[in-house]
Amino acid sequence: MRIGVLTSGGDCPGLNAVIRGAVLKGTKIYNQEFVGIRDGWRGVVEGLTMPLDRHSVRGLSKQGGTVLGTSRTNPFEGPHGGPKNVQATLDRLGIDALIAIGGEGTLAAAKRLTDEGLKIVGVPKTIDNDLDATDYSFGFDTAVEIATEAIDRLRTTGESHKRCMVVEVMGRHVGWIALHAGMAAGAHAILIPERPQSVEQICDWAKSVADRGRAPVIVVSEGFTLDTMESAHSEKGLDAFNRPRLGGIGDVLAPIIEERTGIESRSTVLGHLQRGGVPSAYDRVLSTRLGMAAIDSVMNGEWGTMVALRGTDLVNVPFADALGGLKKVPAARYDEAAILFG
Ligand code: F6P
């Protein structure tokens, strides 16, 4: 069997470890052959491939990014897109099945293609940790580590100047990165999309910290909304899947906090730093296991499913279930963290 492997959507620490896990198990145990698809769905649509043998995945598990390249291309768009064209391209390349490693947009496209008869299994990937069907997605742990270290660093400069430091983290419409990094770094307030807050509340937290002689550290998730906002702050248009590009709420909040409280405030947007560099040990292990499990799914012909983590076990979940809903931060988890705010 000849299997095409692609990584699509935003990159994420651990992608290379998934590729390595799949190729090593597939070649060692099942005698499969692999083809790397370059640049996500764009490579499928345009027939862009690269060799992916055992030798080419050597030492990959600790490498950040993706050796295959990625894109946010929608495989249903363009003159060569759509299920018939994609199947014809795969036939021409001699590819029997695809392993698609990606997030919500990637898996939604994979679902539509498998609904049309294409042979695809998925591996969920997102630093946002927002896929309901998996307890954790790889990349999340690394992103939290990076954000935590950044907040620790911002705290020392904030304390020196008695400034309020607003730190914006990624996460799209869920607040997992903010919650975990904020708790780990002892933030004085954590602002997440699941829990809109008023300017008054945020300023009260900042003031109570400053009144104790400390410098407030406020972690805000890019998808957070003030209770006066109708949607998340977005000023960079839409992505290929028509989703708003988020980012910049930290820069909105810092001047408001400064004006209302008199505390000099600065905003730092961590942005893509959270997706770069080497994956954590946890993410390397999870990614490797997911890659190997995806190979079993291919062998069992479980098309239209993705591998997922339940507790410490790996299971198979139909794309339809996996895309059913966002895994939001439960109210109880936020309330628990909020006891320490201010
Ligand atoms: O989904 C992962 C993610 O990093 C989000 O947290 C963020 O909103 C988005 O991707 C950024 O996308 P891009 O890399 O296209 O700017």
Tell whether 180 is covered by a domain. Answer: yes
Helix (H, G, I), strand (E, B) or coil at 327: coil
Q: Do residues 175 and 50 both lie within one domain?
A: no
Catalytic residue among 39, 128, 130, 283: 128
Q: What is the reported pLDDT for 241?
A: 74
User: Do 164 and 261 touch, CB atoms closer than 8 A?
Assistant: yes
Q: Do residues 80 and 181 both lie within one domain?
A: no
Percentages helix, strand, coil for the chain (3-state, rounded to 5) are 40, 20, 40
Q: How far is the CA of 210 from the centre of ligand 1 (A)?
A: 33
Tell whether 341 is covered by a domain. Answer: no
Tell whether 132 is covered by a domain. Answer: no
Residue 163 annotated in ligand binding:
yes
Q: What is the CATH number of the domain that holds 211?
A: 3.40.50.460
Which residues, 6 or more positions from 213, have their beta carbon under 8 angstroms from its beta carbon?
none
Tell whether 131 is covered by a domain. Answer: no
Size of the chain in residues: 342
Q: What is the reported pLDDT for 338?
A: 98
Sheet holding 2-7, edge to edge: 49-51, 33-37, 2-7, 97-102, 120-124, 305-310, 313-318
Among protein residues, the one with the nearest Cα to ligand 1's atom 15 is: 10
Mean pLDDT by 10 residues, the chain (342 residues): 96 97 98 97 96 96 97 92 96 97 92 97 96 95 98 98 98 97 98 98 98 98 98 91 92 98 98 97 98 98 97 96 90 98 98
Q: How far is the CA of 312 from the centre of ligand 1 (A)?
A: 27
Residue 72 annotated in ligand binding:
yes
Q: Do residues 149 and 120 both lie within one domain?
A: no
Q: What is the reported pLDDT for 239?
A: 83
Q: Do residues 260 and 316 both lie within one domain?
A: no
Domain span holding position 26: 2-126+279-322
How far is Cα 43 from Cα 6, in angstroms, rounded to an integer?
8
What does pTM read for this prediction?
0.95
Q: Do residues 77 and 91 both lie within one domain?
A: yes
For ligand 1, whether the C-beta of 289 sits within 6 Å is: no
Q: Do residues 84 and 112 both lie within one domain?
A: yes
Q: What is the reported pLDDT for 183?
A: 98
Count: domains in the chain: 2
Tell whether 18 is covered by a domain. Answer: yes
pLDDT 10s digits, 281-318: 999 999 999 999 999 999 999 999 999 999 999 999 99
How far is Cα 136 from Cα 128, in angstroms, rounded to an integer?
10
Q: Do residues 84 and 25 both lie within one domain?
A: yes
Q: What is the reported pLDDT for 15?
A: 98
Q: What is the reported pLDDT for 325?
A: 84
Q: How far is the CA of 250 from the centre of ligand 1 (A)?
A: 16
Q: What is the reported pLDDT for 202?
A: 98
Q: What is the CATH number of the domain that holds 103?
A: 3.40.50.450
Residue 117 has which token pair? Answer: 């008869």
Q: Do residues 80 and 161 both lie within one domain?
A: no
Tell whether 227 is covered by a domain. Answer: yes
Q: Do residues 79 and 176 both lie within one domain?
A: no
135 noted as active-site residue: no
How far is Cα 323 from Cα 107, in angstroms, rounded to an integer?
8
Q: Do residues 217 and 272 both lie within one domain?
A: yes
Tell whether 192 is covered by a domain. Answer: yes
pLDDT 10s digits, 212-271: 999 999 999 999 999 999 999 999 999 877 889 999 999 999 999 999 999 999 999 999
Q: Do residues 151 and 261 both lie within one domain?
A: yes
Q: Do residues 151 and 166 both lie within one domain?
A: yes
Q: What is the reported pLDDT for 323?
A: 87
For ligand 1, whether the C-beta of 291 sits within 6 Å is: no
Tell whether 135 is covered by a domain. Answer: no
Q: What is the reported pLDDT for 243?
A: 87
